[in-house]
Amino acid sequence: MAMLEIEGLNAWYGASHVLHGISLTVEPGEIVALVGRNGAGKTSTIRAVMGLMPKATGSVRFADTELLPLPAHARFGLGLAYVPEERRIVPGLTVRENLQLGLVASDGTIDERQAIDEIARSFPRLKERLDQQGVTMSGGEQQMLAIARAMIARPRMILLDEPSEGIMPILVEEMGVLFRRLRDEGTTLLLVEQNVEWALKLADRAVIIDQGEVVHRSSAAALLADKAIQERYCAV
Amino acid sequence: MDAELIAMQLFSGVALGAILIMVALGLSIIFGMLGVVNFAHGALFMVGAYAGLWVASLTGSFWWGLLVAPVAIGLFGMAIERVLIRPLYRRSVDDPLLLTFGLGYVLVEAVRIAFGSDGIPFPTPPELAGVADLGIGFFPIYRLFVVGVVAAVLILVWLCLEKTRFGLIVRAGARDPLIMRVLGVDIAGVWLLVFGLGVGLTALGGVLAAPMRNVNPEMGSLVLAEAFVVTVIGGMGSLVGAVVAGLLVGVAISMTALFAPEMATIVMFALMALVLLVRPQGLFGKPGRA
């Protein structure tokens, strides 16, 4: 059974039809890279999965639950987390409180202190800053916080929108290590990226979207080797 | 003019300010969280006073009125949010404003029909009648009680906002409702509770204010204007701001009433203009908060 199965997904922003029948699947425990040019529809695809598009039709099944009819907030409890491109660290809240936000909807089976300790071990940079305002940290640290907040309730799958954007190379490397570890522990990842080479080295499979349609599916390694296709659909 | 009189007038100002804080706090958290300027807030203050009066006359006890009316009107507020305001969220910001503005008139007229236009005296509960000698002057016990209740409620609200999971959701949801939905929070349900809480606070203010003045259908309109001034001076969405500005306005009004009675209604607007000139976001507001 696929973890995420998107079939014939159409979506609109007002009158503009941005997704034209997207179909893709993500199997449990794999990393899938979703790549393509700016404006191709990558972000719209994961926003539609998260229930954040004004209008979407087709089918999106997560672990066999049809998502499109559900309100946006119903997804987190099914084990589907999302790290938006803008990170959305909440101003006025400390790093610790931002992490707590990742647990407010959980049913209380997760011990908050223990979960934060655990996260602090995975993210030493956050550990030193737990009582600092989240938005005062560097972009990279905020990205780490956004990822930590999404994973603290131990979701089955995380959708990540351009996590490497605008971040120091050393942090991007650290993030790659983290994503591999998450996958090895059984978490499924869908990674939207502009940093194609980095994403393809991490991912098991790759999907290219262009003008709101899927134009290529293959193993990540095969796409990494195929410079012609990369040039055609991903070149800036 | 002796010091005792000034002390008493100062204290009257604090008691008036305490009432204003109850009204302004509700106004401020509703705006901070939902982005709705609740123009029915003054009318709900008045409805709270009538509800308190009604329950008190049914049960023969002020205490039941004080307890039941804010809860009942808070629930009524939740019904208003759910049925009337929620359908307007996706529309222009003017729509909830117009709706609550009209709702205020409907409530005033409804009370006029049910209870008449004349003011009804609301007797001070006998346990709280009389004055207490605090060494610096004689103070009405009821007003001391009002200040005490408001202080206790403020501490409760503060604890709820700062120390509980619900409070964390409210503070974060006011800044970024989208991320809260992504993190699994039914933010519409939170808005419902916050609206009910804000309305319950103004209703509590209404019941508390009732024995200090006559209860009449118009009693909400001046309070609404005063509460707006308080939220503007204190900064929208700030609890500390509502408290400081509420006391400031209450004391300013009552001190002016002593020295220059004809200026008493103008002084708060002068204060507001001054604050806006120096600090447009209000004393404790954050600049540029949408």
Task: Test A84 with B182 for CB contact under 8 angstroms.
Answer: yes
Pick from A75, A84, A93: which is nearest to B172 by CB? A93
Identify the H or E element spanning B133. strand B131-133
CA distance B44 to B39: 9
User: In angstroms, rounded to a whole number, what is the distance separating the alpha carbons of residues A175 and A69?
Assistant: 33
Closest-approach residue (CA) in chain A for B176 = A90
A90 close contact with B: CB closer than 8 A: yes
DSSP annotation of A159 reads E
What ipTM score was computed for the predicted complex, to two decimals? Answer: 0.91
Judged by a CB distance cut-off of 8 A, whether residue A72 touches chain B is: yes
| Token pair for B90 | 């996706």
| Coil/strand/helix, residue B127 | helix
* Residue pLDDT, tens place only, B102-151: 999 999 999 999 999 998 988 899 999 888 888 777 889 999 999 999 99
Mean pLDDT over B23-40 rounds to: 92
Closest CB to B181: pick one of A73, A90, A106.
A73
B152 min Cα distance to partner chain A (Å): 25
Distance CA B25, CA B197 (A): 10
Q: Are A154 and A102 in contact (CB under 8 A)?
A: no
Q: Is the dihedral of CA B99, B100, B104, B109 positive or negative?
A: positive
Establish, for the pair of chains A and B, how many residue pairs have beta carbons separated by less than 8 Å. Answer: 65
pLDDT tens-digit series, residues A183-199: 999 999 999 999 999 99
Q: How far apart are CA B185 and CA B167, in angstroms?
A: 13
- Nearest chain B residue to A103, by CA: B183
Sign of CA dihedral B254, B258, B264, B268: negative
Name the E strands within chain A. 4-13, 16-26, 31-35, 55-62, 65-66, 80-83, 157-161, 188-192, 205-210, 213-219
Domains of chain A plus CATH, in order, are 4-89+156-234 (3.40.50.300)
Nearest to A102 among B178, B183, B187 (CB): B183
Taking a C-beta distance cutoff of 8 angstroms, is the pair B212, B47 a contact? no
Question: Is it the case that residue B288 has pLDDT exceeding 60?
Answer: no
Binary contact (A82, B182; C-beta < 8 A): yes
What percent of chain B shows pLDDT beyond 70?
A: 98
pTM: 0.89
Q: What single-letter amino acid sits at A189?
A: L
A54 shares contact with chain B (CB less than 8 Å): no
Contact indicator for B173, B190 with CB cutoff of 8 Å: yes
Domain range annotation of chain B: 13-117+139-278
CB contact under 8 A, A90 and B181: no
Which amino acid belongs to residue A104? V
- Could you write out the DSSP letters of every residue in B16-66? HHHHHHHHHHHHHHHHHHH----TTHHHHHHHHHHHHHHHHHHHS-HHHHH
Which of A101, A109, A156 is the best substitution to test chain B (most B C-beta atoms within 10 A)?
Answer: A101
